[in-house]
Amino acid sequence: MKEIILLKDGEIALKGLNRYSFEDTMIKNVKRRLSSLGRFRFYKAQSTIYIEPMEDGLDMDEAVERLKKVFGIAAISRACIAQKDWEDICRLAPEYLAQQLEQAKTFKVNAKRSDKRFPLKSPEICAELGAILLEQFPHLKVDVKNPEITVTVEIRDYAAYIHADQIPGPGGMPVGSSGNAALLLSGGIDSPVAGYMMAKRGLELCAVHFVSPPYTSDRAKLKVIELAHILTDYCGRIRLHVVNLTRIQETIKERCPEDLFTVVMRRFMMKIAERIAQQENCQALVTGESLAQVASQTVQAIACTDAATVMPVLRPVIGMDKEEIIKIARSIGTFETSIQPYEDCCTVFTPKHPKTKPTLSMLIEAEAAIQDYQQLVDTAVSTVEVITVTHEGAKGYLE
Ligand code: ATP
Ligand code: MG
């Protein structure tokens, strides 16, 4: 019995002529994600993508698990391939779905006959296969409204396919189909979620992480590499740029009013991230800011932060409560890593009473005290450490 995986795309089906390039991007991502499992053949027909194993013993469970995280996929069907021959279908259906049919109490048969030359019409397929299944699994009852399991038979161009219920895909747009962005990735809960959300809208991400040794430790950096690694399940490869912010933070502390420390620092972060984003051909920055969560996330502070860059700053969690963000963090698997207690450079030198309503003119005045501003940015950018994080790990760190 030979198995195959059928993928249905969701939203990308709506994109008219662009559809083909969206599908191609999705197929490229799927290929990459499955390549380490073995050899598969990929083809498209009738708005379905076919993934056919080309060697024995491929781990199909793992393949499905991986596909659940590839954006653009609306639904996944793991099916058995039958000949377009009624007897073959009637022989394979009970055999292939035996385990699921034994566990269910109710079922129905659903037929999709896109090859109109097939001798039986859909209602006949449903009635006749239904009768065969009832005979072989006498405990079953037919329930057309709310069955526990729907046995689907699809008669298509190349073959017939038999499967039980579809597995929902992650939806969204294929990563890379919307462009590129640089994610400001801290070790916290919010920014990995923000990256996940924008990847789901089709952005391919690189990441920028700021460290402040000796105030922040190597373990804190490793935590961020781990977070990036978890994100690669969804985003594919991530080039993580680790930027040393120590000198800049010490300079701000020395020369700027204490209550503006955080916003001045965040403006530095934006300028550095923008430079890296330009080098990496990105069109936007992404942060995990959520309105009013902390003093630097008031609208006034965000306005000052935004003014430091000409790039659009995407903040997908801006309107979400912490609990809502945590729910996503748990579901994508970043939460447990995010709550490990390591210091972030943002907590170094934080003022006791930060200004919650800063203005741009206050910041321009404060920053005027840093004569070597541009040089500090240049040095931070030129000394960046780039770590390539893939599904397999990160060289020198996670292996
Ligand atoms: P989180 O819960 O993700 O830690 P937060 O509540 O700590 O977020 P801030 O520390 O104010 O928020 O940071 C806001 C955003 O700034 C983060 O979501 C992230 O995008 C970015 N950021 C903060 N610290 C860093 C860092 N060390 N490196 C890169 N980006 C950072
Ligand atoms: Mg943080």
In 3-state terms, what secondary structure has residue 203? strand
Domain ranges of the chain: 3-168, 180-394
* Ligand 2 center–CA 344 separation, angstroms: 7
Ligand with an atom nearest the CA of residue 209: 1
Per run of 10 residues, the mean pLDDT along the chain (length 399 residues) is 90 65 92 96 89 95 97 96 96 96 96 92 96 96 96 93 95 94 96 98 98 92 97 97 97 94 96 98 97 85 96 97 97 96 81 90 96 97 97 86
Residue 12 is predicted with a pLDDT of 59
CA dihedral 119, 125, 127, 132 (to 10 degrees): 110
Q: Which helix (H) or strand (E) holds 76?
A: strand 73-82
**Each residue of 254-270: b (16+ CB within 10 Å) or e?**
eebeebbbbbbbbbbbb
Residue nearest to atom 7 of ligand 1 (CA): 188
Q: Which amino acid is at 260?
A: L
Whether omega before 214 lies within 30 degrees of 0, making that bond cis, reads yes
Residue nearest to atom 17 of ligand 1 (CA): 288
C-beta separation of 314 from 286 below 8 A:
yes
How far apart CA 233 and CA 241 sit, in angstroms, is 19
For ligand 1, mutation pick of 185, 191, 289, 337 (most atoms within 8 Å of CB): 191
Residue 10 is predicted with a pLDDT of 72
Q: Which helix (H) or strand (E) holds 224?
A: helix 218-235
10 Å CB burial of residue 22 (0-12, 13-18, 19+) is buried
Helix axes 299-306, 261-279, angle to 10 degrees: 40
Residue 174's closest CA among 207, 205, 203?
203
Eight-state DSSP code of residue 119: S
Residue nearest to atom 24 of ligand 1 (CA): 186
Is 2.40.110.10 the CATH number for 3-168? no
C-beta separation of 84 from 115 below 8 A:
yes
Residue nearest to atom 1 of ligand 1 (CA): 188
C-beta separation of 345 from 211 below 8 A:
yes
Q: Which long-range contacts (CB under 8 A, 24 or more apart) does 9-16 make?
A: 9/47, 9/49, 9/72, 9/73, 9/74, 10/72, 10/73, 10/74, 10/75, 10/169, 10/171, 11/72, 11/74, 11/171, 11/172, 11/173, 12/72, 12/173, 12/174, 12/177, 13/47, 13/74
C-beta separation of 202 from 175 below 8 A:
yes
Residue nearest to atom 22 of ligand 1 (CA): 186
Instruction: Show Cβ contacts of residue 185 under 8 Å, excluding neighbours closer than 6 positions.
Output: 191, 192, 195, 207, 208, 209, 224, 227, 228, 240
pTM of this structure: 0.93
* Whether the domain at 3-168 and the domain at 180-394 fall into the same CATH topology: no
Beta carbon of 344 within 6 Å of any ligand 1 atom: yes
Residue 15 is predicted with a pLDDT of 61
Ligand with an atom nearest the CA of residue 266: 1
Out of 3.30.565.10, 1.10.150.120, 3.40.50.620, 3.40.190.290, the CATH code matching 180-394 is 3.40.50.620
Beta carbon of 220 within 6 Å of any ligand 1 atom: no
Ligand with an atom nearest the CA of residue 350: 1
Token pair, residue 256, equals: 């700027």
**Which ligand 1 atom is the nearest neighbour of the CA of 192?**
3
Cα three-residue angle 221-227-229, rounded to 5 degrees:
105
* Ligand 2 center–CA 187 separation, angstroms: 6
Beta carbon of 288 within 6 Å of any ligand 1 atom: yes
C-beta separation of 211 from 387 below 8 A:
no
Residue nearest to atom 26 of ligand 1 (CA): 186
Beta carbon of 189 within 6 Å of any ligand 1 atom: yes
* Ligand 2 center–CA 191 separation, angstroms: 7
Beta carbon of 184 within 6 Å of any ligand 1 atom: yes
For ligand 1, mutation pick of 183, 189, 190 (most atoms within 8 Å of CB): 190
For ligand 1, mutation pick of 186, 219, 222, 343 (most atoms within 8 Å of CB): 186
CA atoms within 13 A on the CB side of 79: 30
Q: Strand 149-155 and strand 160-163: pairing?
A: antiparallel
Residue 350 is predicted with a pLDDT of 84
The region, left, alpha or beta by phi > 0 then psi within -120 to 50, assigned to residue 78 is beta
C-beta separation of 72 from 24 below 8 A:
no
